[in-house]
Amino acid sequence: MTGFDAGGRTPRGWIDATRALPDGHPVWPGDAPFAVRPTARIPNGSSVNLMRFEGTTHLGTHVDAPFHVRESGARIESIPLETLIGPGLVIDVAGARGPVAPEELPDGPYPTRVALRTGEPDAWTSFPTEIRPIDPATVRHLAAAGVRLLATDAPSVDPLHDADLPAHHACCEEGVVIVEGLALQAVPAGPCTFVCLPLRLIGTDAAPARVVIAPAGDPVRP
Protein backbone atom coordinates (compact mmCIF):
# COMPACT_ATOMS: atom_id res chain seq x y z
CA MET A 1 0.00 0.00 0.00
CA THR A 2 1.27 3.46 -0.89
CA GLY A 3 2.19 5.68 2.06
CA PHE A 4 -0.35 8.00 3.66
CA ASP A 5 -0.12 11.74 2.98
CA ALA A 6 -0.29 14.45 5.66
CA GLY A 7 -4.09 14.18 5.70
CA GLY A 8 -4.00 10.44 6.27
CA ARG A 9 -5.16 9.60 2.72
CA THR A 10 -3.52 7.32 0.19
CA PRO A 11 -3.66 7.88 -3.58
CA ARG A 12 -6.13 4.99 -3.76
CA GLY A 13 -8.68 6.49 -1.39
CA TRP A 14 -7.95 4.94 2.00
CA ILE A 15 -7.89 7.30 4.98
CA ASP A 16 -6.02 6.29 8.12
CA ALA A 17 -8.54 6.71 10.94
CA THR A 18 -6.09 5.49 13.59
CA ARG A 19 -4.58 7.73 16.25
CA ALA A 20 -0.80 8.01 16.04
CA LEU A 21 0.93 6.63 19.14
CA PRO A 22 3.94 8.70 20.19
CA ASP A 23 5.73 7.87 23.41
CA GLY A 24 3.59 9.11 26.29
CA HIS A 25 0.31 9.12 24.36
CA PRO A 26 -2.48 10.12 26.81
CA VAL A 27 -4.40 7.28 28.41
CA TRP A 28 -7.41 7.08 30.70
CA PRO A 29 -6.43 8.62 34.06
CA GLY A 30 -5.06 5.88 36.29
CA ASP A 31 -4.60 3.41 33.40
CA ALA A 32 -1.22 1.96 32.49
CA PRO A 33 0.80 4.69 30.73
CA PHE A 34 2.13 4.18 27.22
CA ALA A 35 5.89 4.16 26.86
CA VAL A 36 8.32 3.32 24.06
CA ARG A 37 11.92 2.68 25.06
CA PRO A 38 15.06 1.45 23.25
CA THR A 39 16.53 -1.84 24.41
CA ALA A 40 19.43 -2.00 21.95
CA ARG A 41 21.09 0.70 19.83
CA ILE A 42 23.48 0.43 16.91
CA PRO A 43 25.46 3.52 18.08
CA ASN A 44 26.08 1.68 21.37
CA GLY A 45 27.59 -1.37 19.65
CA SER A 46 24.52 -3.52 18.97
CA SER A 47 24.01 -5.06 15.53
CA VAL A 48 20.41 -3.81 15.49
CA ASN A 49 18.10 -1.19 16.95
CA LEU A 50 15.44 -2.75 19.21
CA MET A 51 12.63 -1.13 21.17
CA ARG A 52 9.94 -2.20 23.59
CA PHE A 53 6.55 -0.69 24.32
CA GLU A 54 4.10 -1.07 27.18
CA GLY A 55 0.73 0.29 28.18
CA THR A 56 -2.99 -0.28 28.41
CA THR A 57 -5.00 -2.48 26.05
CA HIS A 58 -7.28 0.56 25.62
CA LEU A 59 -4.56 2.59 23.94
CA GLY A 60 -5.57 5.17 21.35
CA THR A 61 -7.77 3.59 18.69
CA HIS A 62 -8.92 0.28 20.13
CA VAL A 63 -11.62 -2.39 20.14
CA ASP A 64 -13.45 -3.30 23.35
CA ALA A 65 -14.42 -6.90 24.01
CA PRO A 66 -17.47 -7.75 26.16
CA PHE A 67 -15.07 -9.05 28.84
CA HIS A 68 -14.16 -5.40 29.48
CA VAL A 69 -17.42 -4.89 31.39
CA ARG A 70 -18.66 -8.43 32.03
CA GLU A 71 -16.70 -11.18 33.73
CA SER A 72 -18.40 -13.81 31.59
CA GLY A 73 -18.07 -11.79 28.39
CA ALA A 74 -16.20 -12.86 25.27
CA ARG A 75 -12.59 -11.79 24.97
CA ILE A 76 -10.96 -9.93 22.13
CA GLU A 77 -10.00 -12.99 20.06
CA SER A 78 -13.69 -13.96 19.83
CA ILE A 79 -14.69 -10.91 17.76
CA PRO A 80 -15.14 -12.14 14.16
CA LEU A 81 -13.29 -10.42 11.35
CA GLU A 82 -16.49 -10.18 9.30
CA THR A 83 -17.89 -7.78 11.90
CA LEU A 84 -14.81 -5.58 11.66
CA ILE A 85 -14.54 -5.30 7.88
CA GLY A 86 -17.07 -4.18 5.28
CA PRO A 87 -19.55 -1.44 4.35
CA GLY A 88 -19.91 1.32 6.89
CA LEU A 89 -21.38 4.75 7.52
CA VAL A 90 -19.71 7.78 9.11
CA ILE A 91 -22.22 10.11 10.82
CA ASP A 92 -21.25 13.64 11.88
CA VAL A 93 -22.73 14.54 15.28
CA ALA A 94 -20.13 17.19 16.18
CA GLY A 95 -21.12 20.59 17.46
CA ALA A 96 -23.69 19.44 20.02
CA ARG A 97 -23.37 18.57 23.68
CA GLY A 98 -24.56 15.68 25.78
CA PRO A 99 -25.04 12.05 24.80
CA VAL A 100 -25.63 11.29 21.13
CA ALA A 101 -29.38 10.68 20.89
CA PRO A 102 -31.29 8.60 18.30
CA GLU A 103 -32.97 11.68 16.82
CA GLU A 104 -29.56 13.03 15.75
CA LEU A 105 -29.02 10.12 13.39
CA PRO A 106 -30.12 10.07 9.76
CA ASP A 107 -32.94 7.76 8.78
CA GLY A 108 -31.91 4.20 8.02
CA PRO A 109 -31.25 1.75 6.62
CA TYR A 110 -27.79 1.44 8.15
CA PRO A 111 -24.89 -0.80 7.19
CA THR A 112 -23.43 -3.22 9.72
CA ARG A 113 -20.80 -0.68 10.84
CA VAL A 114 -21.50 2.88 12.02
CA ALA A 115 -18.87 5.43 13.13
CA LEU A 116 -19.85 8.62 14.97
CA ARG A 117 -17.71 11.73 14.50
CA THR A 118 -18.33 13.68 17.71
CA GLY A 119 -15.68 16.35 17.10
CA GLU A 120 -12.68 14.95 18.95
CA PRO A 121 -9.31 16.09 17.53
CA ASP A 122 -7.16 13.43 15.89
CA ALA A 123 -4.37 14.03 18.44
CA TRP A 124 -4.72 14.53 22.19
CA THR A 125 -2.07 16.53 24.04
CA SER A 126 -3.81 15.44 27.24
CA PHE A 127 -6.67 13.10 27.97
CA PRO A 128 -10.07 14.72 27.27
CA THR A 129 -12.06 16.05 30.20
CA GLU A 130 -15.37 16.33 28.33
CA ILE A 131 -16.69 14.14 25.53
CA ARG A 132 -19.90 13.28 23.70
CA PRO A 133 -20.89 9.82 24.93
CA ILE A 134 -23.56 7.67 23.29
CA ASP A 135 -27.06 7.32 24.70
CA PRO A 136 -27.91 3.65 25.34
CA ALA A 137 -31.14 4.31 23.41
CA THR A 138 -28.98 5.11 20.39
CA VAL A 139 -27.19 1.79 20.76
CA ARG A 140 -30.51 -0.05 20.82
CA HIS A 141 -31.89 1.98 17.92
CA LEU A 142 -28.89 1.09 15.75
CA ALA A 143 -28.81 -2.54 16.88
CA ALA A 144 -32.48 -2.95 15.98
CA ALA A 145 -31.58 -1.71 12.48
CA GLY A 146 -28.87 -4.36 12.09
CA VAL A 147 -25.76 -2.46 13.23
CA ARG A 148 -23.17 -4.79 14.77
CA LEU A 149 -20.22 -2.40 15.16
CA LEU A 150 -20.43 1.06 16.71
CA ALA A 151 -17.36 3.29 16.59
CA THR A 152 -16.58 6.73 17.95
CA ASP A 153 -13.75 9.25 17.93
CA ALA A 154 -14.25 9.72 21.68
CA PRO A 155 -12.22 7.65 24.16
CA SER A 156 -15.39 6.01 25.46
CA VAL A 157 -18.99 5.40 24.44
CA ASP A 158 -19.94 6.35 28.01
CA PRO A 159 -19.57 9.55 30.04
CA LEU A 160 -16.09 9.79 31.52
CA HIS A 161 -17.25 9.62 35.13
CA ASP A 162 -20.13 7.14 34.85
CA ALA A 163 -18.98 3.90 36.45
CA ASP A 164 -22.26 2.19 35.49
CA LEU A 165 -21.18 2.22 31.82
CA PRO A 166 -24.72 2.04 30.38
CA ALA A 167 -23.69 2.30 26.71
CA HIS A 168 -21.05 -0.42 27.12
CA HIS A 169 -23.63 -2.72 28.69
CA ALA A 170 -26.21 -1.89 26.03
CA CYS A 171 -23.67 -2.87 23.37
CA CYS A 172 -23.02 -6.15 25.18
CA GLU A 173 -26.71 -6.90 25.44
CA GLU A 174 -27.30 -6.12 21.76
CA GLY A 175 -24.24 -7.90 20.39
CA VAL A 176 -22.61 -4.68 19.16
CA VAL A 177 -18.81 -4.42 18.97
CA ILE A 178 -17.32 -1.17 20.31
CA VAL A 179 -14.47 0.71 18.63
CA GLU A 180 -13.23 3.80 20.48
CA GLY A 181 -10.68 6.53 19.86
CA LEU A 182 -10.91 6.87 16.08
CA ALA A 183 -9.22 9.77 14.27
CA LEU A 184 -12.03 11.07 12.05
CA GLN A 185 -11.17 14.69 11.25
CA ALA A 186 -10.12 13.80 7.70
CA VAL A 187 -12.96 11.35 7.12
CA PRO A 188 -16.06 12.74 5.36
CA ALA A 189 -19.50 11.81 6.60
CA GLY A 190 -21.33 9.27 4.49
CA PRO A 191 -21.08 5.69 3.26
CA CYS A 192 -17.67 4.06 3.30
CA THR A 193 -15.67 0.87 3.43
CA PHE A 194 -14.56 0.25 7.01
CA VAL A 195 -11.58 -1.91 7.99
CA CYS A 196 -10.64 -2.43 11.64
CA LEU A 197 -7.86 -4.84 12.60
CA PRO A 198 -7.16 -5.19 16.34
CA LEU A 199 -3.95 -6.82 17.49
CA ARG A 200 -4.41 -10.57 17.75
CA LEU A 201 -4.09 -10.64 21.51
CA ILE A 202 -5.45 -13.62 23.42
CA GLY A 203 -7.59 -13.41 26.55
CA THR A 204 -7.67 -9.62 26.83
CA ASP A 205 -10.51 -7.15 27.40
CA ALA A 206 -9.47 -4.94 24.47
CA ALA A 207 -6.78 -4.45 21.84
CA PRO A 208 -5.27 -1.47 20.01
CA ALA A 209 -6.35 -1.47 16.37
CA ARG A 210 -5.46 -0.04 12.97
CA VAL A 211 -8.53 1.40 11.28
CA VAL A 212 -8.68 2.59 7.67
CA ILE A 213 -11.73 4.00 5.92
CA ALA A 214 -12.44 4.51 2.22
CA PRO A 215 -15.31 6.94 1.51
CA ALA A 216 -17.85 5.71 -1.02
CA GLY A 217 -16.77 6.54 -4.56
CA ASP A 218 -13.05 6.48 -3.77
CA PRO A 219 -11.16 3.65 -5.49
CA VAL A 220 -9.85 1.10 -3.03
CA ARG A 221 -7.81 -1.17 -5.27
CA PRO A 222 -4.93 -2.89 -3.47
List active site positions.
Answer: 68
Which are the contacts of 88, defined by CB distance < 8 A and separation ≥ 6?
111, 112, 113, 114, 115, 149, 191, 192, 193, 194, 213
Residue 53: beta bridge partners? 36
Helical spans, DSSP H, in the chain: 81-84, 136-144, 166-174
Which of 132, 133, 153, 150 lies closest to 141, judged by CA? 150
Q: How many angstroms separate the CA atoms of 8 and 30, rounded?
A: 30
- How does DSSP classify residue 100? B
Q: How many angstroms separate the CA atoms of 197 and 200, rounded?
A: 8
Classify residue 103 by burial, with Cβ atoms within 10 Å: 0-12, 13-18, 19+.
exposed
Which of 211, 202, 200 lies closest to 178, judged by CA? 211
Residue 112 neighbours by CB distance under 10 Å: 20
